[in-house]
Chains A and B, each alone.
Chain A
Amino acid sequence: MSYNNHRGYGNAYPPSGYSQKPWKRSRYPDQRDEDSRSSSSYSGRYHSEYNSHTPSEYPPSPSSRGIKAAIASNGSTPLGTASAGTPRNQSTPDARLGNEEPAGTDPKTGQNSHDSKFLKLMHHVDFSVPKETRSSDPSKNYKVMYDPELDPTLSKAERKSKQRKLRFKGDGVSSSQVIDPRKTNIAQYFQKPNKRTKKFPFKQLPQSKFVFDKDSLGPPPQTELVVWDLPATTSEVYLENYFRSYGDPIKDMKFINDPINAVPLGVGTFKFQGNPEKAQRLAKKLIQTLKAERAKIDGVEIRIGLNDHDGELLQKRIDSANEKLRIAKNKRAEEDKRRLKRQLEEEQRRHEEQKRIDEENRKIEALKKAEAAATLKVEKFQPNSTMVSIRHNNKVVPGVFLPSDLKKYIKERPYILIHDRYIPTKRIPSQDLKRALNKYDWTRILSDKTGFFIVFNSLNEAKRCFFNEDGRKFYEYKMYMELAVPEGFNRSSDNEDDEGIQAKTRKNDLVDEGVNMLIKEFQMYLSKDIRERIIAPVVLDLLGHDKYPELVESLKAKEAAMKVTAPVVSSNGYLKQNALSLLAKQRKQQQAQTSLPSFKKKIERPKVKRNLIPMQHALNYDRESESESDDDEEDSSRSVTPVASKRDRSSALTSPDDEEEIEAKKHKKTKLQKSFLYESESSSEVEEDAGEEVVDEAADENEIDYSTIEEQYQPTETPSTVFPESELLPTEVFDLEVLQDVIKDDEDMSLAMKVLEEVKPEPIPNMEYWAWKQMDTRNASEEIAEDVDLIESLDPRLECSSGSFRSEGQRQIADADKIEYLPHRRKIHKPLKTVQHDFEEEEEVSNNNSTSTSTNNVQSSRVNRAKNRRFAADITAQIGTESEVLSLNTLTKRKKPVSFARSAIHNWGLYAMEPIAAKEMIIEYVGESIRQQVAEHREKSYLKTGIGSSYLFRVDENTVIDATKKGGIARFINHCCNPSCTAKIIKVEGKKRIVIYALRDIDANEELTYDYKFERETNDEERIRCLCGAPGCKGWLN
């Protein structure tokens, strides 16, 4: 705003320098007629006055300013004097220009900066201009006595024609009438004012309630409700529904979590919907009702309040909740600390133990090496023996497995057997195997339900093949071979092929070998004799149970207690096998050449339990038992005498040589260093016998276990860790074969007979058959064990280098390598718990009665479907035409609850949320329906953009459904060679739709799979590996 914006009086008044004082007014002598329009006298002046704003044609106007200006120009006013002489008490707003207050009018200048935007109007007042006055002219005063316009009786035309009647100066009104009209009835004037008047003297007034909008000042009415001290179980949705039950819709339900660790604080806020006033009203109402009802949520009384403007209440609640959490956390932290301390102590203890064990292991390692060296020597094998796979350290076992129907093809030639369980004969054509082994001069390859038989003419060639190919990978399988040399194999025929010298040297070698073996054997027997005949009786005498009845009892009790808690040890198969082969080897020289063992040894005998334990253990044991039983035995006697216990004992008492040899043998067979210590002959008999009779008695099973102990744990001081390992092995049944192994010679036999003297032999009508049956069942159980066994072996390349994959960084595993892990993921075919892992316990409970529930579910879903169908039919009957909506719904109605989660097969998988019966529809494969050409184009572009997974589903030659970008979760269903579902293309309303049906009953949480039925890909590079891991997996998707 500038000076010019004011109607200037520029020349007459300096723009500044006036103090603020009441305006000085001057009267102008000019008695102008109010109707006067004489403009000529001052028109010239106007120009100078208004030129800052307006052009010269200022219209003739009776404006006071104009008049005043004219007067001023006349010079007949005291204005000039006033301006020149007396100090003016007026202030001009111009003096204070410049500081404008944006909020409104500048209190100092009175200028509103925004006014400059608008046109200057007549009613603008320039306070620099004194208000001019003139004397009033009473003659101009009049009152209209009659106005035709106000005469309701007149017509419009008449109103115009009639004249108004004016009364000037109160003509005819007596002076006595010029009085205060109020005073005529002053009492009424004050007491009874007219109620209709706008100016009624109300002493009290109602208040209006303003709604909140953008014009409101201050904060909006508080509508936010704060709920606190909520139980942790309350969810937002639940609370929202709860408050909604009070009738009014709410919004912005929010739970407040700790900003640092996202722990729910049990504090939530919400608002009612609607405008702020309504929301506040509802909020207040709710608070009142809740208070009155003492409403509870999850058994906790609801604490609720209206938040205040600064959110103080909320903050307070958050703080208090935080405080609570902090206290709880501190408590937890303390506990943690304590636990950590305990753990540390334990760790230390364990560490020491570990050290000891390591040392022992090192010893064992050394022994093993020696053993390995020994095996090399023993490697030579003879006809009617089988060398088992490298997985079992190429142990040589007597006897060959040869189905009788193949005998005529094999004709006593050496052959390699690859068991069906390693390479399924049904899946792999023998052609493939032939191709794989074409390097070797095999004669023929036969296949049988037991496996592949690769028959060689030459033993050498067979060996070459065996040693090169054993354990090698073949597709996703591994060829684990068994080299078998039938009984009737004529070595000479082998030799014929070789050069004579070679044969000779070999013969010599064999003789030397035999001599060595014999010597060794003799030595062994000598020491054994010494041990058994001389030392053992003495020791046994000393340790007889009858001598320490109390001790025996207490130990027994203790053992029993330990058993309950001890974990079950895996890999029984191994142990058994090891034991088997060991015994077999030991017996090699004195073999009875029968493949069927004589069963007459299998007689029930009274059990005698005599276990020996290593000296060290004995000491430990004594100390422990002493503390318990308070035995008064002398220390010395105890330390030298092994306690008769239920535990297995090592050969603490055997001669050093003896022990070494036995140990060496033992270790040779232990791969996982979990071998059981099989008693050396000297001490075994009695106690082995003791174990034998357990065969039929389940109750006695535990006792067998005493005879076995894991060697690596033997020397540990704390029996607790050793114990579980020595604990029973459910499959370790003392059956015929074990019995055969145990009783190795006539001496054993006689002893056994002696022990079992009193037992009546069970009458078995057909001994041969019975024995065969025994063996058969044993083999079967062995096979199961083998399956578990299989999982153990993994290419070292894929094994974890650091001990745990978790300690390593994340890395991609190539598809090819994933195959290797397949056996380890076999459990994928058991229902996963991915989806509901939180409720495992409940699930277990429900699993127990799952059979009943699942059938119920299935039924109900069927019933529902039938109901839906009936309903739809009803509707159609009513409406007459089939409505689109219903037909679309038919598929969605039948949809089963499924959910997707990570899959063991490939990235994502679809999982059943509840049991699904066979033939039920599960889900529709939804996606964009596109043409073949488009599909091809898209496939390429998807590949290019890095979408590796294909979600294209061919419906027919021309149509493909693409669920890559738009589609349902059905696209997550993985391929499986042994699928649980199948995809069917059905026609709904003439449109082809893909629907997934269950092929078989599906458990809850089981992954859904179907066969993709890809076309066979000719280019090997483009073939896709199948990772389904199903028993019948083809290995490829296409």
Chain B
Amino acid sequence: MSRLHSTVVITDKILATCRPTKRFDYHDKASITSLDFDDSGQYLISAGIDKSVQLYDVHKGTHSKDIKSQKYGAHLARFTHNALQYLHASTPTEKAEVDHAIRFSDLSNNQYLRYFKGHKGQVTSIEVNPLENTFLSTGYDHTVKMWDLKSSAPIGNLDIGMESVLAYDPQGLVFAVGCSSSGQISLYNTAYFDKGPFLRVNVPVTTSWNKLEFSNNGKLILVSTNGPLHFILDAFLGQILTTLDTNSDPIPYGYPSTGSCTFTPCGKFVLAGTSSGKVSLFDLNQIKSTDGDVHVVHDDTNPTRLTPFKVLNANGGIPKIVAFDPKLFTFATADNTVALWQPQDRL
């Protein structure tokens, strides 16, 4: 950690100085479909349709490994809590000579540790429990499955009937399943999810969703859509607190991805990639949430529409995928290249 310097408070001003300082072009210019940081924040992993997984060292800002997955394809590469062990979904060709298993691999020796078989369709989302060694997945078979890293069979199943996006709350107590087709978000208790959601909320559907995310402070849920509008929901009541308007065209996706919006670790800001090749920054400091029925949020408490306080130019490509490092003041965007962003003008 000698390379790390004194910490920087996440503020709008500093966020506004962020610029892409690194651009990794290791996917053969193919579209990238996932980005994920590991728990320590040191590594970034990306998967692309070129059937490769790339590992980057965020401390140094260097590319560190190129993992080919020609046989099974690579999608949704996600780190588990064990260092350098990651999951990725298979991407069979239309000939489907490969099944839809989720594969658990170790980067240090390039060995597959386990195949998680059970999905009958392309896996479109994998969410690792932030604390435990379990994860959720969903796919074109319209089911959500829960897995334990030690068991190749799912340890839980939910039939949704629709394509969905998943999210864990910061403590892993609750997960949310959002269906853009119906506009419904269901919150499940991780322990009793088979009984059904304890909360269902409906969000007016505009465009399809690419991501659900709980803010790290647990107060908000971000509904990231392909379109210009993203929604901030109260994490407890599910009511829409505000709408983030990027004022741009919908992002044209060709592949399911890990989402174009993200909270900052503090949960006070949202970064949203837009189709105009920019990253819009939203400040949520003024947004009041119920904090679990502690406060009352009226319809007029929060502005219905929030505009970005700053739009950053990504300088090349559309930031289709945005991810913030959990431990470093760095975030990554990806289109067909991966860009690492850092605040500038201060060292």
Contacts and interface: CB of A to CB of B under 8 A. Distances in A.
A204 B59 CA distance: 16
14 contacts: A115-B336, A123-B89, A133-B181, A141-B159, A142-B156, A150-B148, A170-B195, A180-B199, A197-B131, A197-B171, A207-B343, A208-B328, A210-B21, A211-B62
A924 to B, nearest CB: 54
A149 B152 contact: yes
Contacts of B196: 138, 141, 169-170, 178
A112 B335 CA distance: 9
Nearest to A60: B96
Interface in A1-49: 20, 22-23, 25, 34-35
A140 B118 CA distance: 13
Nearest to A46: B94
Contacts of B150: 149-150
B302 interface: no
Given A54-B95, A107-B275, A199 B326 contact: yes
A105 B182 contact: no
Contacts of B259: none
Contacts of A199: 130, 168-170, 214, 216, 265, 326
Main secondary structure of the interface of A (DSSP, over half): loop
B236 to A, nearest CB: 7
Given A20-B250, A200-B216, A215 B23 contact: yes
Given A198-B128, A204-B7, 19 more contacts: A23-B208, A104-B316, A105-B254, A107-B276, A118-B50, A123-B33, A123-B124, A134-B161, A144-B151, A149-B153, A180-B199, A181-B174, A181-B190, A200-B326, A203-B10, A207-B328, A209-B5, A210-B62, A218-B21
Given A133-B182, A144-B153, A216-B21, A118 B30 contact: yes
B342 A105 contact: no
A124 interface: yes
A147 B155 contact: yes
Contact of B162 (A20, A50, A134, A218): A134
A189 interface: yes
B187 to A, nearest CB: 7
Contact of A58 (B95, B120, B291, B335): B95
Contacts of A131: 162-163, 180-181, 208
A143 interface: yes
Given A131-B208, A201-B267, A147 B329 contact: no
B308 interface: no
Contacts of B215: 201
A119 B256 CA distance: 16
B81 interface: yes
A202 B49 CA distance: 33
A535 to B, nearest CB: 106
Please list the 4 inter-chain residue pairs (A to B) with the smallest Cβ-Cβ separation, ordered nearest first: A110-B252, A170-B195, A104-B317, A210-B61
Given A114-B28, A168-B194, A194 B23 contact: no
Nearest to B169: A182
B172 A197 contact: yes
Contacts of B180: 131
A175 B121 CA distance: 32
Interface residues of A, number: 97
Contacts of B153: 144, 147, 149, 164
B317 A105 contact: yes
Interface string B18-60: 0111111100111101000001000000000111000000111
Q: Could you say which of A53, A58, A114, A120 has the most chain B C-beta atoms within 10 Å of its C-beta? A: A114
A376 interface: no
Interface of B: 1, 3-10, 19-25, 28-31, 33, 39, 49-51, 58-63, 73, 75, 81, 89, 91-97, 100, 120-124, 128, 130-131, 140-143, 146, 148, 150-163, 168-174, 179-182, 187, 189-199, 205-208, 214-219, 227, 235-236, 249-256, 265-267, 275-277, 291-294, 315-318, 320, 325-330, 335-337, 339-340, 342-343, 347
A987 interface: no
A217 B20 contact: yes
Contacts of B96: 58-59, 61, 63, 122
A182 B176 CA distance: 13
Main secondary structure of the interface of B (DSSP, over half): loop
A537 B75 CA distance: 134
Contacts of A208: 3-4, 58-61, 328-330, 342
Contacts of A167: 194
A839 interface: no
Interface in A123-180: 123-125, 127, 131, 133-144, 147, 149-150, 164, 167-171, 173, 175, 177-180
A195 B142 CA distance: 33
A133 B192 contact: no
Contacts of B190: 181
A766 B10 CA distance: 121
A1022 B266 CA distance: 98
Given A35-B120, A138-B159, A110 B254 contact: yes
Nearest to A179: B198
A115 B156 contact: no
Contact of B173 (A25, A122, A182, A200): A182
Contacts of B214: 199
B162 A133 contact: yes
A208 B4 CA distance: 5
Contacts of A207: 4-5, 7-8, 328-330, 342-343
A22 B59 CA distance: 40
Given A136-B161, A140-B159, A207-B328, A114 B29 contact: yes
Nearest to B4: A206
A593 interface: no
A868 interface: no
A125 B25 CA distance: 23
A131 B139 CA distance: 12
Contacts of A35: 120
Contacts of A196: 131
Contact of A141 (B19, B193, B218, B266): B193
Nearest to A178: B198
Given A122-B92, A193-B170, A170 B194 contact: yes
B336 A206 contact: no
A681 to B, nearest CB: 104
A1005 to B, nearest CB: 58
A760 interface: no
Contacts of B156: 142-144
Contacts of B275: 107-108, 110
B221 to A, nearest CB: 12
A1018 to B, nearest CB: 79
A121 interface: yes
A140 to B, nearest CB: 4
B293 A183 contact: yes
Nearest to A112: B31
Contacts of A115: 30-31, 49, 254, 336
A271 B168 CA distance: 51
A178 B124 contact: no
A111 B275 CA distance: 12
Nearest to B329: A205
A3 to B, nearest CB: 14
A58 B94 contact: yes
A190 B163 contact: no
Q: Could you say which of B128, B161, B250, B292 has the most chain A C-beta atoms within 10 Å of its C-beta? A: B161
Nearest to A23: B208
Nearest to A177: B192
Given A203-B9, A203-B10, A216-B61, A62 B120 contact: yes
A254 B259 CA distance: 51
B159 A150 contact: no
Q: Could you say which of A105, A131, A168, A205 has the most chain B C-beta atoms within 10 Å of its C-beta? A: A205
A167 B190 CA distance: 14
A194 B130 CA distance: 10
Given A34-B143, A198-B39, A135 B326 contact: no
Contact of B256 (A50, A123, A149): A123
